[in-house]
Amino acid sequence: MAEEKKVQSNESFYNKKIADVFRVVHASEEGLTSEQAKKRLYEYGYNELDAGKKKSLFSKFLDQFKDFMIMVLIAAALISFFTGDKVEAIMILVVIVIMAIFGVVQEAKAEQAIEALKSMSTPNANALRDGHINSIKSTELVPGDIVALEAGDVIPADLRLFESNSLKIEEAALTGESVPSEKEAVALEGDDVPIGDRINMAYMNSNVTYGRGTGVVVGTGMHTEVGKIASMLAQADETDTPLKQNLNSLGKTLTVAILAICVIMFGVGMMKGDHTWVELLLTSVSLAVAAIPEGLPAIVTIVLALGTQKMAKRNALVRKLPAVETLGSTDIICSDKTGTLTLNQMTVEKIFSNNELKDAATELSDTNKTLKIMNYCNDTKFSSEGELIGDPTETALVQFGLDKGFDVREKVVSEPRVAELPFDSVRKLMTTVHELPDGRFAITTKGAPDELLKRCAFYDLDDKIVPMDEAQRQLVLETNTGLGKQALRVLAMAYRFVDTMPTDITSEELEKELVFSGLVGMIDPERAEAAKAVKVAKEAGIRPIMITGDHRDTATAIAKRLGILGENQEDAVITGAELNEISDVDFDKLVTKYSVYARVSPQHKVRIVKAWQDAGKVVAMTGDGVNDAPALKAADIGIGMGITGTEVSKGASDMVLADDNFSTIIVAVEEGRKVFSNIQKTVQYLLAANLGEVLTLFIATLLGWDTLLPVHLLWINVVTDTFPAIALGLEPAEKDVMDHAPRGRDSNFLSGGVMSSIIYQGILEAAITLGVYWFAISYPVHTGDYNAIHGDALTMSYATLGLIQLFHAFNVKSVHESLFKVGAFRNKFFNYAILLSFTLLAATIVIPGFNDLFSVSHLDGYQWAVVFGASLSIIPIVEIVKFVQRKTIYK
């Protein structure tokens, strides 16, 4: 079916009468014939989601070379190659290729979101074809098909319901609402009804939890609500992470600096007239190559990879490396409520029995009538593994019974159900009839408190039946109102005994003269650790935002319980319908006002994320449902749930929480801040070292000194730019890492005093190195032998420049704090790295045979003492500068 397909109607069907719906889709209650279905399948295509255009592996590989820093490194490799330094050129190219391969591997799962959406489609559907209900592949459904639904079915396409018999559909993955939606086949009014309130619609990939229904297909494939989400995912632009922005900015800064060095070096040389322009050009280019920290991208990748391993051990699974650092700069955490801040599991929280309101944890006798009714008047089933199957509200009641020692499976053996009156959304009640051992029959009823009270003539008080009076009725209604204000879903329980089996199983016959027993308040409770995590986030300057498909009252109550909202902050709550009335321009001004968004759609979630990003904030978005996927992709970092999350949400995420624990996000934020801090230390260390090398060569050239040979520079870069830099990435987090506000989107690796530190520390390294060379020339050990004097001076300056960088690595364990406070030797990997680097550096001087290779001489004890003393001096000098800075600039 490569031809262009016929476009399905984009009209809203929830606000149309069923006759108008049939007219639009050209169908009727009799369904389609096989010929009609075949023709429409050709016209509209299969009921499946488009895979979208996929990039080839080669294209993905080439994309890795579009990064600015990578282009700078490629230029450096070419310059090194043409100036004769082929070893360094090869090393740079190897680093680039490894980084590109790693990038392709990390992004290999980027297209899994839409694939996961496709895999969610159901294999079969019960459709009315040729006048008979037939089981057909859901991919062959077409607009106009009539589909029959029953408990346990997965909705195969978007349907407009025209028959509903106690039908309930769980739509949490689409709407974010934890309680199944009760469906009615009635036309709705309005043109902007939220998805969660469209009670006459059944959407693809949601689940029937109760009752039966029939609907006509009004949308298939990409024209379903799930299809719209898939389109949003496919069209969403990838957001540049702060890390990528920082590296690009750093690369551009270095490029400007390198070009300036080349120009100045060439200009000064031409003015002096000591060398030809060709020699000056080669010298300038060699100097520029020395300024490029070619190992930085590789080291950043290694630090991020090590960070992902640490986070994985703490249940935060990172899918994209930059997400590790992005977490550390997070200003806003937009969190889905259901399944993220809450358990996505209805739980009994309060019980009102014998005119007493008690917490669910209170001891309760298994003879309590309210407990008995909630279990008897219940359609929950048990799987072979003992798991509860059914409507989440009903399974919560049975679970509560099990927790109290009341196993309904045992009880109904002696008091079996003999009749039932299913739940009806009109009367809002359910009733069952049970035969008792003494020959009588017990009628048990549960449902909406206001409706059930109308049918109660008595109430139960300490197992005594007392006539219902107005005072008792008011007490029940006030209790119901109070529980409702706490966002609890309240059900009422009632019963009566009859001597003979009712002959007429109707509401009029069964649901009358009832004895009120009690109320049960349920809620999808907040996670135990979530409130603490919210508190820690606020202390770290991070603002939590709740986004949910639930009603305003429920969202407000949960937000207050979690600490997202204060007691009198109801004006910080807004609904999706209210948000629709606000323009994007106005919303950008108002976004900081709201902390809770209720009854929202997927489009709203993306809009909220974008508004915060427009305000300059780094935004993290958590979620577990299909409806969260577009926002997860739009956010700076999308965080999916590993246990309750759909494959769609995981595929759209940068990070997945293996334990679905909101507090794990805070752990990940701490790790992210540590990673950024350590990368910043690495940048400071490498750039200060490279600046020291550049200034040493630059000034020495101007003075006519030969302080370093190209092989010395290459070996120093290999030895000092690798192991210590990687080890700095393994530094433990500083104690105050979570005590300050996020650094913000505008910060970079050179901010916070790092740039000034690089400059003065690079100057200091060059000054000390040049000072040692001058000292060796001025006060030589050998007298009268210029070659020997120059050889010693060259060796001492080479050893000094290498060692001073190793000692300087201790200084950058903290940008501002004292080395002695953060601990000089607490990182064992760092200690080993310094020892290894020193060994490799010293080996070129002390091991026979290396002298000729590196053009160096052996040093005696006096000379080594000068080298060590001069190199070590950088530690106290930098410590003094940091002390002054802490007392003045950063106090």
599-645: pLDDT as tens digits? 887 778 889 999 999 999 999 998 777 777 788 888 988 888 877 77
Confidence tier at 123 by pLDDT (50, 70, 90): low
Strands (E), 436-562: 441-447, 456-461, 464-467, 489-498, 514-523, 543-547
List, for residues 812-867, the tens digit of each pLDDT value. Answer: 998 888 888 888 888 888 999 999 999 989 988 888 877 777 778 888 889 999 99
Please list the residue range(s) of the chain that carry CATH number 1.20.1110.10: 296-312+669-887
Q: Is the dihedral of CA 237, 243, 245, 248 positive or negative?
A: negative
pLDDT at 499: 94
Q: Which amino acid is at 551?
A: H
Please list the residue range(s) of the chain that carry CATH number 3.40.50.1000: 316-343+527-660
What tokens were used for 835?
């020892």
Is residue 837 within 8 Å of residue 724, measured between CB atoms?
yes
pLDDT at 112: 47
List, for residues 677-732, the tens digit of each pLDDT value. Answer: 888 888 899 889 888 988 888 788 778 777 777 667 767 877 887 789 888 888 88
Residue 118 has pLDDT above 50, yes or no: no
pLDDT at 143: 94
pLDDT at 588: 93
18-51+116-235 fold: 2.70.150
Residue 734 CB contacts under 8 Å (≥ 6 apart), including other chains: 674, 677, 814, 817, 822
pLDDT at 236: 54
352-517 under CATH 3.40.109.10, yes or no: no
CA atoms within 13 A on the CB side of 376: 32
Residue 747 has pLDDT above 80, yes or no: no
Residue 114 has pLDDT above 60, yes or no: no
Q: Flag the least confident range among 21-25, 218-222, 242-246, 431-435.
A: 242-246
Q: Which stretches within 348-504 are classed as H helix?
A: 369-376, 392-403, 408-414, 449-453, 470-485
Confidence tier at 529 by pLDDT (50, 70, 90): confident
Catalytic residues: 336
Question: For the residues 431-440, what does the mean pLDDT come to?
Answer: 95
316-343+527-660 fold: Rossmann fold (3.40.50)
pLDDT at 736: 75
CA atoms within 13 A on the CB side of 454: 9
Confidence tier at 217 by pLDDT (50, 70, 90): very high
Q: What is the pTM of this model?
A: 0.67
Is residue 181 within 8 Å of residue 196, measured between CB atoms?
yes
User: Under CATH, which number does the domain 296-312+669-887 receive?
Assistant: 1.20.1110.10
